[in-house]
Structure 1
């Protein structure tokens, strides 16, 4: 199983759009992806895919499963869009830290061990997710805390969007320390599958920043603000947006889609996962296989 969390310390670098479009790219190739977004903010992956309609309702949700108070089966939480299974975010995520701390205190009062940061992994294993799915993608918030730590504990690998600029240079320089800090905090090995520069304009300073990244850089994405804004407006992936909402297909946008396809294939190869039906990169008319 390919499992990774998309993470960046900086906001606005395309972390969520990267996760969403990679999920669709995996699905386009005939794989079965599950996306577990964990961001308590409204502008999240559930919003992007249009499955956040119950986030304020008193319904069963991921948090209830993480604190062992589910109202139903985990699989009943899942919504499918563009060939991707998604566990929608819920407003209870805002209080996840409080809920988990309360559970920890109760467990310890009973003389039981309780791993606050291992609860998402427990839920996924108990639901048989590693056997059911080919790909697991977690999209946590940028801030450190139980949302992020549970995501990393469940996936053990990162895909890191980075801004190749003077502003983003500090984040680039701190990547190794960041990963080492996660390993110390969680007491697990954390790997970096790829760094993904976003908003590259091929300036000398940006090239210098890229040279300082010590992780693999399979693709470098240019400035695509209009395309990504369109995705948020229409609540869909870039693949669907170009196919259904553009009056004409632009070559540079098709190349962006091809980059997501190629990046997905790279990540799959890193863990020895072979997609059964990979499309020609950027082929917007390629049908998502029904699994």
Structure 2
């Protein structure tokens, strides 16, 4: 199974839209992806896909499963949008650290172990996710804490959208230190599958910044603010937005969709995963056929 977390220390880089569009790109090729967003903020992946309608209700949610207090089966948490299975975020994520610490203290009082950063991994394994899905994508918040650590522990690989600026370069350097510390703390190896420059304008400074990044850069995505804002307005992926909400298909936007398709193929190849029905990159009318 291909598993990765989209992460960027800097906000506003396009982390969540990258996760959403890569998930749809995997699904377009006939693979079965599961997306686990973990951001407690309202502008999250559940909002992007229009499945955040129950986040304030007293319903079963991922946090309850992580603290061993589920109200139902894991399968009942899942919503399907654009061929992608998704576990919607819930407001309980805002207090995830407190819930996990409380459960840890209760477990230790009973002589039991409870790893606060291993609970997402436990939930996914107990639900059979590695056997049922081809791709797992986690979308944690940018800040350090149990949301990020659980995501990294569950996926062990990162895809990093970056701003091609000095600020973005500093964020990548900070990530290296974070990953090294996490590897030491949990005794796991964390790899970087790709860095994805977003909003590239091909200036000399930007080119020099890209040359200094040590991670693979399979695609460089240009400034696409209008396309991405349209996705948020219509609550859909860029593929759906261009297909259903653009009166005229713009060549540069089709090329951006092709880049997400090519990125998905790159990530799949990194783990030897072969998509059964890959589209011509950027073909928004490609018929999705699941394996």
Normalised to the residue count of structure 1, the TM-score between the two structures is: 0.98
Q: Please report how far the alpha carbon of residue 149 of structure 1 lies from its aligned counterpart in structure 2 after TM superposition.
A: 0.4
Q: Please report how far the alpha carbon of residue 110 of structure 1 lies from its aligned counterpart in structure 2 after TM superposition.
A: 1.2
**Is contact 1:35-1:87 (8 Å) kept?**
yes
**Is contact 1:79-1:87 (8 Å) kept?**
yes
**Number of the residue aligned with 2:189:** 189
Encode CA deviations 1:190-211: one digit per residue, 9 max, x unaligned.
0100011101000000011101
- How many residues in Structure 1 have an aligned counterpart in Structure 2? 291
Q: Please report how far the alpha carbon of residue 178 of structure 1 lies from its aligned counterpart in structure 2 after TM superposition.
A: 2.8
Aligned partners of 2:137 and 2:51: how far apart in 1?
16
**Number of the residue aligned with 1:118:** 118
Residues 1:18 and 2:18 are matched in the alignment: yes
**Number of the residue aligned with 1:246:** 246
**Is contact 2:9-2:175 (8 Å) kept?**
no
Give the secondary structure class of the aligned counterpart of 1:116: coil
Aligned partners of 1:205 and 1:85: how far apart in 2?
40
**Number of the residue aligned with 1:207:** 207
Residues 1:273 and 2:273 are matched in the alignment: yes
Q: Please report how far the alpha carbon of residue 169 of structure 1 lies from its aligned counterpart in structure 2 after TM superposition.
A: 2.4
**Is contact 2:37-2:87 (8 Å) kept?**
yes
Residues 1:63 and 2:72 are matched in the alignment: no
Residues 1:260 and 2:265 are matched in the alignment: no
Aligned partners of 2:181 and 2:226: how far apart in 1?
35
Runs of 4+ deviating beyond 4 Å:
none
RMSD: 0.9
Aligned partners of 1:10 and 1:185: how far apart in 2?
23
**Is contact 1:7-1:161 (8 Å) kept?**
yes
Encode CA deviations 1:207-254: one digit per residue, 9 max, x unaligned.
111011001000000000000000000000000000000010000000
**Is contact 1:104-1:114 (8 Å) kept?**
yes
Aligned partners of 1:16 and 1:185: how far apart in 2?
27
Aligned partners of 1:175 and 1:116: how far apart in 2?
21
Aligned partners of 1:276 and 1:248: how far apart in 2?
30
Aligned partners of 1:236 and 1:134: how far apart in 2?
22
Give 5+ residue unaligned stretches, structure 2.
none
**Is contact 1:83-1:289 (8 Å) kept?**
no
Residues 1:218 and 2:230 are matched in the alignment: no
**Number of the residue aligned with 2:53:** 53
**Is contact 1:172-1:212 (8 Å) kept?**
no
**Number of the residue aligned with 2:34:** 34
Aligned partners of 1:167 and 1:210: how far apart in 2?
12
Give 5+ residue unaligned stretches, structure 1.
none
Q: Please report how far the alpha carbon of residue 290 of structure 1 lies from its aligned counterpart in structure 2 after TM superposition.
A: 4.3
Q: Please report how far the alpha carbon of residue 288 of structure 1 lies from its aligned counterpart in structure 2 after TM superposition.
A: 1.9
Give the secondary structure class of the aligned counterpart of 1:5: strand
**Is contact 2:27-2:290 (8 Å) kept?**
no
**Number of the residue aligned with 2:106:** 106
Encode CA deviations 1:21-74: one digit per residue, 9 max, x unaligned.
000000000000000000000000000000000000111000000011111100
Aligned partners of 1:29 and 1:222: how far apart in 2?
24
Question: Where in structure 2 are the equivalents of 1:83-232 lying within 5 Å?
Answer: 83-232=83-232
**Is contact 1:149-1:186 (8 Å) kept?**
no
